[in-house]
Structure 1
Amino acid sequence: MTRTIKLRYTETAGCIFIDKIAGLNTHTPEHGQRGCVEVYEEELNQKLYVVHRLDKATSGALCFATSSEIAADITRLFEQHLVKKRYLFLTDKPAGALEFTYQSFIEKERNQFVSRKDKDPNSKTTFRWLKALGRFQLWEAVPHTGKPHQIRLHAEAKGIPILGDSEHGGSHFYRLCLHSHSLEFNLKGQDVRFETDLPVWARDGEFNEHEEDLVVAEAFQRRERLFDFSKLKDECLRLSHRELDTYRIDQYGEYLWVYWYKEEDPSVSDLLRFERISKKFGKKILVRKMLNRGDDPNAELLWNIGQTQTQWTAKENGVNYELRSDTGLSPGLFLDQRENRLWVQEHAQDRRVLNLFSYTSGFSVVSALAGASEVCTVDVSSNFLDWSKRNFALNGLNPEDDKYEFWNSDCILFLKGTVRRKRKFSLIICDPPSFGRSKNGVFSISKNFDELLINCLYCLEKNGLLLFCTNYEKWTSGDIHLRLEKLKREFSFKILPAPSQGMDFELPDQEPLMKSIIIRKN
């Protein structure tokens, strides 16, 4: 199992260039959170040096140095104004001139940056009108200096505030429409230039003034900037997460699966949007209505686009999975567990693995592929266990092998029986639903958490690992930590950090919908 969804970057002349997405800080905003540089340091497994910064809400070209010596050289180039920076932005205000240069003195005053004309200037920006895009105007900005909020302040002062820049007079929009389009400099005799793709809101062919169309288009472009996702045609990843409240979109190989959360069915404009997406990316689309799982575990499939089938296969990091459109609210693989499945794959070799609430057994499959000595799979649904065996077979694993067990059982009852038999596991994966019904009664994570975790810990051997996950929306990661602290009165264990969520889901400073934690028993 090899990671195939990798962050995109360009390396040249000792520099790492990235096309930063909007909403990501250049560096860590506070302890415990990752910024852009920390994310890419983790991806490249090397130290990176920040040589310039972009505001959190600004997207586009960003440069890191790979050594302190190169960082010092590039920093001098910035200080001497020898780096050519080109930005693009949108405004909905007309301008009196099509090209001009503006200078002012920028300083911080009462926790915000202000631009003043009554002092000698320390900042200078040249503006050039490019074209009209519907009711908006596309501009180029070339800053000759590098003061904080410089372009935003100067655009505001000249009556063309940037769209979405509420801090500096811009009209409301779904984002700040400011993009660092290119960087150019000469480093030790070598000409270095990095240019990004145009943002969707700056493109003629794709520009659409309907805000929701732009939000969806930018959600897709975010994954392209991060992963070059158009080359990942057979892979599984999320293409639209919390950009819109109405729906989320996952790619499962040749299919796009839309989770529809509104009470009302998709409108004609929604369906036309999905049809445009289908045509552009060459994907079949299935739209599933998402209601309360306890009220309607098999909500209707609202719409399909293309010659869809009820079963197909797709890959995640080289592992094959069978997906289905006629069974439950999901096609069979929860993509927010991708990083956790990689973690399990890295830790499962020679371990006795127990996978509780296994669903279609993604965790069991990667454990078996990693060389686990035993894989015990437990789920209350016999249909899901049959589906699990199919996933084993798709990856060249024999589900009838003696080291693989499939138990059709209530998980808490299974754990209690395991405690009585004094059976131990060295790796347990526990990913319960927030709420579920079975012939044995009703399961609720808020009510059954202690009972579930206590029995897991009884079944975990010394130095064993427990991966616990939940998408219960009323809990934060902090809530889980507090609940676990109470269990330390009875058990000795250490809480370890779980893998960070994939960047196709929440950004590093957002509380994830799916919370994970790892426990090592002392």
Structure 2
Amino acid sequence: MTRTIKLRYTETAGCIFIDKIAGLNTHTPEHGQRGCVEIYEEVLDRKLFVVHRLDKATSGALCFATSSEIAAEVSRLFEQHLVKKRYLFLTDKPAGALEFTYQSHIEKEKNKFVSTKDKDPNSKTTFKWIKALGRFQLWEAIPHTGKPHQIRLHAEAKGIPILGDSEHGGSHFYRLCLHSHSLEFTLRGEHVHFETDLPVWAKDGELNEHEEDLVLGEALQRRERLFKFSELKDESLRLAHRELDTYRIDQYGEYLWVYWYKEEDPSVPDLLRFEKLSKKLKKKVLVRKMLNRGDDPNAELLWTIGQTQTSWIAKENGVKYELRSDTGLSPGLFLDQRENRLWVSEHAQDRRVLNLFSYTSGFSVVSAMAGAQEVCTVDVSSNFLDWSKRNFTLNGLDPEHEKYEFWNSDCILFLKGTVRRKRKFGLIVCDPPSFGRSKNGVFSISKNFDELLINAMYCLEKNGLLLFCTNYEKWNSGDLHLRLEKLKREFSFKILPAPSQGMDFELPDQEPLMKSIILRKN
């Protein structure tokens, strides 16, 4: 299984350049949270060195060095003001002059950076007006020094505070409209220039749109900056996650699947928004309303755009899956499990794998493709098991092979029977629903967690791995750890971190909707 959704970066002259997204710290803000440099160190599997920083809310060009020697040289260039930094920002305030330079003394007072004219200046910024964008003004800022919050403080002092910068006098907006557009310097005789794409809010025509359109445009641009998703036309990834409360959008190959979270049906502006998105991305669109528990889970789609079919094929990291628009509230593949499926594919070889609450069996498929010794798939729905076999066949696997088992059973009853038979597995995947009904009764993760995990641990061989996942909204990651600690009275195991969520979902400092953890039995 080959990773096809990869983070973008440019490497030149011993430096790594990235187009940082807003909302991401340059480096880890506290233990347990990854910053930008830690994320790219993991991707590149090597040490990176921070040579300059961007505020969390600022997007754009950011540079890391790949060695301590290069870091020392580039840091010296920044300190000697030999790096040309060009920023763009937006304001809703008029300015008296179209070009000027501002100097001040910046220092920290009581956990806040302040700018004053009463002391010798240690900061200098040149400002140049570019153009009007509707009722807003687009400016260029070139900082000649590198003090924290320098551009923001100087813009505020000159009466053109940056849009979205509430800390420094800016009007309310959906984000801080400050972007590091380019970096330029000469290193060891080589001219280095890195320039980013224009942010959505700096483009002609975009600011005439409704704010929801801007936020959606920003969400798409975030995936473009991270993955260049426009080149991943056949892949599956999330295009809008929690940027908007009203809906989430997934790409499944040639289709966009919209989860609708409003009480009412889509209004005319919503429908026009989806039509525009369909046209822009050249995708068919399916809009599914997310109903309250107890409502009919097979309610009709609210809306479709294009010549849609009830089933189609899409890929995730090269693996094929059948998606359907007429079976439940999901098309058949939960994309927040993408990194977990990659992890399973890396650990399934030569192991006996048990996939509980299998749904359409993404975990079973990647286990079989990775060379698992056997794959046992369990789900209470015979329809989902038939669908699972279809996914096996799509990937050149014979679901009737003796290595593969499909059990139409309640998962807890299956585990209890497996315990009696003393059957063991080397890898167990347990991704239960928060709530579910079957002929055997009602399943609730909050009530059945201990029973489920205890029986699963009895079925796990020594040094075996158990991946547990839950979307239960009333638990956070800490709650999950506390519940697992109680099980240590009965079992000896080590808690390992699960793979980090893909960057098309939550950012590192956001509590994930989907919580995952790995147990290794001692």
After TM superposition, the score normalised by the length of structure 1 is: 0.99
8 Å contact 1:152–1:162 — kept in the other structure? yes
8 Å contact 1:129–1:138 — kept in the other structure? yes
Where does the alignment leave 5 or more consecutive residues of structure 1 unmatched? none
Q: What pairs with 1:291-440 in structure 2 (closer than 5 Å)?
A: 291-440=291-440
Secondary structure of 2:455's aligned partner = helix
Mapped to 1, the partners of 2:499 and 2:347 lie a distance apart of 12
Deviates more, 1:346-355 or 1:292-301: 292-301
Aligned to 1:5: 5
Aligned to 1:29: 29
Mapped to 2, the partners of 1:382 and 1:34 lie a distance apart of 41
Deviates more, 1:290-299 or 1:107-116: 290-299
Letter in 2 for 1:238: R
Q: CA offset at residue 206 of structure 1?
A: 3.5
Mapped to 2, the partners of 1:295 and 1:436 lie a distance apart of 13
Q: CA offset at residue 113 of structure 1?
A: 0.3
Aligned to 1:284: 284
8 Å contact 2:436–2:444 — kept in the other structure? yes
Q: CA offset at residue 208 of structure 1?
A: 3.1
Q: What pairs with 1:76-475 in structure 2 (closer than 5 Å)?
A: 76-475=76-475
Q: Deviations over 1:61-111 (max 9, x none)?
A: 000000000000000000000000000001111111111111100000010
Mapped to 2, the partners of 1:83 and 1:200 lie a distance apart of 26
8 Å contact 1:134–1:209 — kept in the other structure? no
Q: What pairs with 1:45-60 in structure 2 (closer than 5 Å)?
A: 45-60=45-60
Letter in 1 for 2:140: E
Mapped to 2, the partners of 1:328 and 1:204 lie a distance apart of 41
Q: CA offset at residue 291 of structure 1?
A: 1.2
8 Å contact 1:11–1:17 — kept in the other structure? yes
Secondary structure of 1:415's aligned partner = helix
8 Å contact 1:359–1:384 — kept in the other structure? yes
Secondary structure of 1:301's aligned partner = coil
Q: CA offset at residue 205 of structure 1?
A: 4.3
Q: Deviations over 1:187-220 (max 9, x none)?
A: 0111000000000100114343411100000000
Mapped to 1, the partners of 2:469 and 2:137 lie a distance apart of 46
Mapped to 1, the partners of 2:97 and 2:209 lie a distance apart of 24
8 Å contact 2:133–2:205 — kept in the other structure? no
Q: What pairs with 1:500-515 in structure 2 (closer than 5 Å)?
A: 500-515=500-515
Q: Deviations over 1:445-474 (max 9, x none)?
A: 011100000000011111100000001111
Q: CA offset at residue 261 of structure 1?
A: 0.6
Mapped to 2, the partners of 1:297 and 1:308 lie a distance apart of 20
Q: CA offset at residue 292 of structure 1?
A: 2.3
8 Å contact 1:294–1:435 — kept in the other structure? no
Aligned to 2:62: 62
Secondary structure of 1:443's aligned partner = strand
Mapped to 1, the partners of 2:295 and 2:513 lie a distance apart of 21
Q: CA offset at residue 300 of structure 1?
A: 2.7
Mapped to 1, the partners of 2:210 and 2:310 lie a distance apart of 33
8 Å contact 2:323–2:332 — kept in the other structure? yes
Q: CA offset at residue 440 of structure 1?
A: 0.9
Report how many aligned residue pairs link the two structures.
522
Mapped to 2, the partners of 1:112 and 1:270 lie a distance apart of 41
Q: CA offset at residue 295 of structure 1?
A: 2.8
Mapped to 2, the partners of 1:223 and 1:208 lie a distance apart of 22
Secondary structure of 1:344's aligned partner = helix
Mapped to 2, the partners of 1:113 and 1:268 lie a distance apart of 45
Mapped to 2, the partners of 1:442 and 1:262 lie a distance apart of 28
Q: CA RMSD in A?
A: 0.7
Mapped to 2, the partners of 1:93 and 1:206 lie a distance apart of 19
Q: Deviations over 1:243-271 (max 9, x none)?
A: 00000000000000000011111110011
Secondary structure of 2:185's aligned partner = strand
Q: CA offset at residue 184 of structure 1?
A: 0.2
Letter in 2 for 1:473: E
8 Å contact 1:290–1:299 — kept in the other structure? no
Where does the alignment leave 5 or more consecutive residues of structure 2 unmatched? none
Q: What pairs with 1:477-516 in structure 2 (closer than 5 Å)?
A: 477-516=477-516
Secondary structure of 1:442's aligned partner = strand
Q: Deviations over 1:343-386 (max 9, x none)?
A: 00000000000000000000000000000011000000000000
Secondary structure of 1:162's aligned partner = coil
- Corresponding position: 1:20 with 2:20: yes
Mapped to 2, the partners of 1:59 and 1:182 lie a distance apart of 11
Secondary structure of 2:131's aligned partner = strand
Mapped to 1, the partners of 2:94 and 2:439 lie a distance apart of 66
Mapped to 2, the partners of 1:368 and 1:158 lie a distance apart of 63
Q: Deviations over 1:396-453 (max 9, x none)?
A: 0000001100000110111111111111111000000001111111111011100000
Mapped to 2, the partners of 1:98 and 1:301 lie a distance apart of 52
Q: Percent identity?
A: 90
